[in-house]
Amino acid sequence: MSNNIVNENNSVIETLKKLYVRISILSLSTGALSPILPYLLILSGGGAFESGLFQSLNNLFNSVGQAIWGRVSDLIGRRKILLVIGVLALIIISFPLTVLIFLNNLTPYIIIALSSINTLLTSTSIPVLTSIIIDIAPYTRRSHVYSLHSSLSTLF
């Protein structure tokens, strides 16, 4: 009996390690772009209004997106697909932004629009990862596992 518990705990730990690596990679990729976008906004002619609009729309779309994607995740139950959507959105939105940077054809409102769409689509990862952690982690360790997830997310 105790052997089964040990094997089950080891399986959970291995799964959580893989999940933490994926969380870290996703957070690192989105976190690496975050300090660059406001700088690009100013370089493209944006001012205080555009900077405020940029920050507020990103915060709004992140919050709204989490609620929407959390509900979608609960309804369809296909969490891995939603994680793939988040990663693909990051890649797809980053491509036109990169092209526009090289063409020197950026306006503040293009940056704001692309970033807002990106934030809305990549916000899938937060409720989906939370629900995966809740499904995987044993009830007695759930709060510890989730606090570790939160700490890793703020690190990147």
Residue with tokens 């690596």: 21
In the chain, the amino acid numbered 21 is V
Indicate the average pLDDT of the chain: 76
- Helix (H) / strand (E) containing 68: helix 48-76
Angle (nearest 5°) at CA 148 between 72 and 153: 60
Dist CA 87 CA 38 (whole Å): 22
Lowest mean pLDDT among 2-6, 13-17, 33-37, 43-47: 2-6
The answer for residues whose C-beta is within 8 angstroms of residue 28's C-beta and 6 or more apart is 156
What pTM value is reported for the model? Answer: 0.68
Residue with tokens 């759930």: 142
What pLDDT score was predicted for residue 5? 46
Residue-wise pLDDT tens digits, 37-87: 788 888 888 888 998 999 899 889 988 988 888 888 778 877 777 777 777
Banded pLDDT at 117 (limits 50, 70, 90) = confident
Q: In the structure encoding, which two tokens stand for residue 92, read together?
A: 């797809």
The answer for residues whose C-beta is within 8 angstroms of residue 61's C-beta and 6 or more apart is 116, 117, 119, 120, 123
